[in-house]
Amino acid sequence: MSHEKVRLGIVGTGNIARSHLNGYKILKDAGYDSFEICALCDNSDERRTAYAEAVKDLFGLTPPQFSSVEDLVAAGVVDAVDNCTPHAFHHATTIPCLEAGLHVMVEKPGGITLKASELIQGAQRRTGKIVAVAEQVRRGIKARTMKWALTQAKMIGELRFFIVEGFSFEDYAQPGYSEVYLWQWRLLKLMSGGGMALDAGAHMADMIRYLFGDVRDVYCRTAGFQTPTINSPELGPMPMDVEDTWFATLGFESGLVGTWSWSFSARGERQSNQVFYGSEGSARDRGGWMHPFQAGGDITRLDGSVLPYEDIEREYRASLDSVTRERLYPYGVEDDIALECWDFIDAIQKQRPPEVDIAEAMRAKAICLAMYESAASGDAIRVRDVLDGKVSRYQDGINAYWGI
Ligand SMILES: NC(=O)c1ccc[n+]([C@@H]2O[C@H](COP(=O)([O-])OP(=O)(O)OC[C@H]3O[C@@H](n4cnc5c(N)ncnc54)[C@H](O)[C@@H]3O)[C@@H](O)[C@H]2O)c1
């Protein structure tokens, strides 16, 4: 690469792009100085200028601003792009960057449908550029600790089954949903590809693969009990049409079985329960919201005693040799989003694959898409058939609309 530092452009300067900015700041403060934010791009002047203020406050920089990726690319001021646009635009904003010779980190799920991801993958192969998918949950010290506890230290023995469920009521008719951009696109299938099963669900799918390996088959029922009108700037007023409820059973290649159920239309009693069972005990996730072990977890052993997360983390830290510690937590950074940003920049500089590339993200998102395909057909679905494009009934309308 001709430039010493990676010149980075942020595309889609909304909600998660703020968290990425914070991640880049953590890296700079830790002494990692291999990049510079050199351009901002968003088709909303309001969100872009507000973001520019944050860039000035945090980094003292005033990078040039663009209202389209085409203009950004034409300016030739960046080597790489951090793409935080809504799902419907992942492929359309990533591919021109790759074709102009830029590396891209695109937010999860890396394309609105499987075919959209395949388009990104095709461009990645043609250009030889790096495509990272921004999947942070597995990278934080708490999730890595629990991965070590369950799969290496085998603290609960052989893994057998899990239950993950979250039920509460959220009123989608309140103005916060119909009038705020980040919900306007999330509640319409043509913009988001699906509801929370794909959105937050992409984290859950990545993490269960990271912990337990590939899912073989899925049976799922979805429901959409709430249908308020959403004022989408892209599609005009339309009723919300993504699921607000699902019940899924996942069968893994290993034989492990899990149920995963969630609703924002559960009136009355709220509950959240995420427990992973093995032959020698169980692990309860301390967090919620489909981000397994992002907040750590506690282990209950056969004699009923509880091993608190803090003790598990202490053992994990003691188990790390210096090479592994530097690889997983460079510059002493343990924040998951900062680590995903570091992985992208470091992959570019060393010309190595990022930890989560587009193929890895597709294997995770195929679990979420298999849930929708199962709900659409009424049958159990093999995840492999979704990945191979043999099953796509749910996704066909989205692909047709966007010409994918
Ligand atoms: N990793 C996480 O934990 C996490 C959390 C939230 C969101 N996300 C992901 O981040 C992405 C964005 O989500 P968000 O919550 O930040 O949404 P958002 O609506 O807050 O931000 C998206 C931004 O993209 C801009 N935009 C839309 N179309 C554009 C285009 N064609 N060119 C340039 N800019 C465009 C919008 O104006 C907006 O500012 C999604 O893929 C989402 O799944 C990830």
Domains defined for the chain, CATH in brackets:
6-137+332-356 (3.40.50.720), 140-325 (3.30.360.10)
Q: Look at residue 323 and tell me whether its pLDDT is greater than 60.
A: yes
Residues 357-394 have pLDDT tens digits of 999 999 999 999 999 999 999 999 999 999 999 999 99
Cβ neighbors of 30 (< 8 A, separation 6 or more) are 331, 332, 333, 338
Counting DSSP H helices and E strands in the chain, the numbers are: 16, 17
C-beta separation of 33 from 41 below 8 A:
no
Q: What percent of the chain has pLDDT over 70?
A: 99
Mean pLDDT of the chain: 97
Quick one: pLDDT band at residue 166, thresholds 50, 70, 90?
A: very high
- Give the model's pLDDT for residue 201: 97
Q: How many CB atoms lie within 10 A of CB 121?
A: 19
| Ligand 1 close to Cβ of residue 41 (< 6 A) | yes
Residues 211-267 have pLDDT tens digits of 999 999 999 999 999 999 999 999 999 999 999 999 999 999 999 999 999 999 999
| Closest protein CA for atom 6 of ligand 1 | 16
Question: How many whole angstroms separate alpha carbon 173 and alpha carbon 101?
Answer: 44
* Mean pLDDT across 80-102: 98
- Give the model's pLDDT for residue 3: 56
- Give the model's pLDDT for residue 287: 87
Quick one: pLDDT band at residue 4, thresholds 50, 70, 90?
A: confident
- Give the model's pLDDT for residue 172: 96
| Ligand 1 close to Cβ of residue 107 (< 6 A) | yes
C-beta separation of 165 from 274 below 8 A:
yes
Mutate to test the pocket of ligand 1, among 13, 16, 289 (most ligand atoms within 8 A of CB): 16
C-beta separation of 150 from 283 below 8 A:
yes
Question: How many whole angstroms separate alpha carbon 308 and alpha carbon 297?
Answer: 7
Ligand 1 centroid, distance to 85 Cα (angstroms): 4
* Mean pLDDT across 132-144: 97
- Give the model's pLDDT for residue 2: 44
| Ligand 1 close to Cβ of residue 337 (< 6 A) | no
Residues 267-291 have pLDDT tens digits of 999 999 999 999 999 999 998 779 9
| Closest protein CA for atom 21 of ligand 1 | 14
Question: How many whole angstroms separate alpha carbon 327 and alpha carbon 211?
Answer: 19
| pTM more than 0.95 | yes
Which is more confidently placed, 3 or 388? Answer: 388
Ligand 1 centroid, distance to 294 Cα (angstroms): 21
Residue 78: alpha-carbon gap to chain centroid: 24
Listed in order, strand segments (DSSP E) in 320-378 are: none
Ligand 1 centroid, distance to 186 Cα (angstroms): 10
Q: How many CB atoms lie within 10 A of CB 271?
A: 9
- Give the model's pLDDT for residue 91: 98
Position 230, amino acid: I
Which is more confidently placed, 178 or 108? Answer: 108
Q: Look at residue 144 and tell me whether its pLDDT is greater than 60.
A: yes
| Closest protein CA for atom 5 of ligand 1 | 16
Quick one: pLDDT band at residue 137, thresholds 50, 70, 90?
A: very high
Mutate to test the pocket of ligand 1, among 11, 13, 42, 368 (most ligand atoms within 8 A of CB): 42
- Give the model's pLDDT for residue 289: 78
Cα 327 to Cα 155, 331, 355: the distances in Å are 24, 9, 11
Cβ neighbors of 388 (< 8 A, separation 6 or more) are none
Ligand 1 centroid, distance to 109 Cα (angstroms): 11
Atom of ligand 1 nearest to the CA of 47: 39
